[in-house]
Amino acid sequence: MERAVTFQTYVRSLFQPVTYRSLTRFFLLVSILTIIFSTSITQATAVLAALVAIIGSFASRTNRFRMSPALYPILAFAAARLLAIIFSEHIDLSVHALRMEIFFYSVAVMIFNEFDELDVLFVVRFLFIAGVLAALYGIFGYTTGMHNRAMSTTAGYYTLGMFLCAVLPVSIPFGERKDVFPRAWLWYAGTAVMLFGLLLTFNRLHWVAAGAALTIGALLFNRKLLIPIGIGAAAALIFFPEIIDRFVTLFNVGEHMSDRDVLWKGASMLVGDHPVLGFGLRTFPAIFPLMHEVADKGVGSWHNDFLQVYMESGLLGILAYLGSFGGFIYYGIRTVKLLPPDSQYRSIAAGIALSSISFLIGGFIIDPHILMLFLTLYGALAVLHRYAASHNVQKEPGKTPA
């Protein structure tokens, strides 16, 4: 029997009693909730969560630290990225990634150790609410002329677009589950708002990623999802016909490369150098050979996750990067199979697994906000897999959790 807990009861559980674990959970939740709203709060609370968890482990007489095979792929990727910093061609540039990237990998481990399935349920709800609020801010900024695209409070249109692109699929399977989302009409409205906001970012790649994830999700789990998709898309097209103009450019990609052709040309000149560990993290400004050919002189990355990972951390990095997606998809499918069809956590696991499509197409490594979101969902999936394995063992007592 799965637990049913109200929001008020859940919040009280964070502070009654106040323990190292409850404080770690609280700081982690704040960090997750502010991913799209405040970089400084997200980073500060993640650091506080880590410090409290470390202090708690020393203060406790028993070792609370746990590890799971589900975390191995993401930890292997973290190790590859760390090696790329250590052996960087420009260590002065790469060292900044220790706080802007490497530290965040610990978030997935902390979530696995400190959260349970109930925490994951509320994290998913909180991310949905954060996505709606961020989309509303972006829509307001665009419609009032504050920005030429929908943007978030903490970063630009790319960050908002990828955040919405990833959160939308997570919410697909539980749209009509009252044990996950108590008011179905709020889910429909929220989904339409997020889709509206995503369209107004004018990010073509994120449109494609979200379109693929939403289509697959609707066909597999919830065909009624087509209702908010239709409402959001129709409203956007009626009030903002410029979206159509942007959409048409998808069919003329060669004429709208935004310097990406120059980036790939420059990469081809360096592809044979440092193939094992790459040039090091954040070294683009120091190694890109064709800066004089790009129109945007402020460009600071390779603008493609696969290219970025290879150039920064070589073959070791790209193999680990692909492995992290393999782990995401494998454990997502395995968790869904282990849980009974009527389980609310099965729906959540399916939604998180769907988000891997968005991350695979849209990327997650270039933007630290999106990296944090990816690691949050990865850690949450590891928690659900642990719960699913335990649930399966209870049904079949002779087995051992994976």
Q: What is the pLDDT along the chain (402 residues), one digit of tens a residue?
A: 566 677 778 888 887 788 888 899 999 999 999 999 998 999 999 999 999 988 888 887 666 678 899 999 999 999 999 999 999 999 999 999 998 899 999 999 999 999 999 999 999 989 999 999 999 999 999 999 899 999 988 878 999 999 999 999 898 877 667 766 777 778 888 888 998 899 999 988 898 898 888 888 888 877 777 777 777 777 777 888 788 777 777 666 555 566 788 999 999 999 999 999 999 999 999 999 998 888 877 788 898 999 999 999 999 999 999 999 999 999 999 999 999 988 889 989 999 999 999 999 988 888 889 999 999 999 999 999 999 998 765 555 555 555
Asked if 114 and 299 count as a contact pair (C-beta separation under 8 A), the reply is: no
Asked if 55 and 27 count as a contact pair (C-beta separation under 8 A), the reply is: no
Shared domain check, 241 and 301:
yes
- pTM reported for the whole predicted model: 0.90
196 found inside a domain: yes
Shared domain check, 1 and 123:
no
Shared domain check, 372 and 296:
yes
Q: Pick from 13, 44, 65: which residue ends a domain?
A: 65
41 found inside a domain: yes
Distances 132 to 37, 139, 186 between C-alpha atoms, Å: 12, 10, 10
**d(Cα 140, Cα 210) in Å, to the nearest integer?**
21
**d(Cα 43, Cα 312) in Å, to the nearest integer?**
23
Shared domain check, 97 and 31:
no
Shared domain check, 39 and 133:
no
354 found inside a domain: yes
353 found inside a domain: yes
Shared domain check, 181 and 56:
no
Shared domain check, 366 and 338:
yes
Q: Pick from 15, 32, 65: which residue ends a domain?
A: 65
**d(Cα 41, Cα 43) in Å, to the nearest integer?**
5
263 found inside a domain: no
Q: Pick from 26, 42, 65: which residue ends a domain?
A: 65
Q: Is the dihedral of CA 260, 254, 155, 24 positive or negative?
A: negative
CB atoms within 10 A of CB 131: 26
Shared domain check, 165 and 19:
no
- Domain span at 308: 68-258+291-395
Shared domain check, 80 and 56:
no
Q: How many distinct structural domains can be found in the chain? A: 2
Shared domain check, 167 and 81:
yes
Shared domain check, 298 and 243:
yes
Helix (H, G, I), strand (E, B) or coil at 295: coil
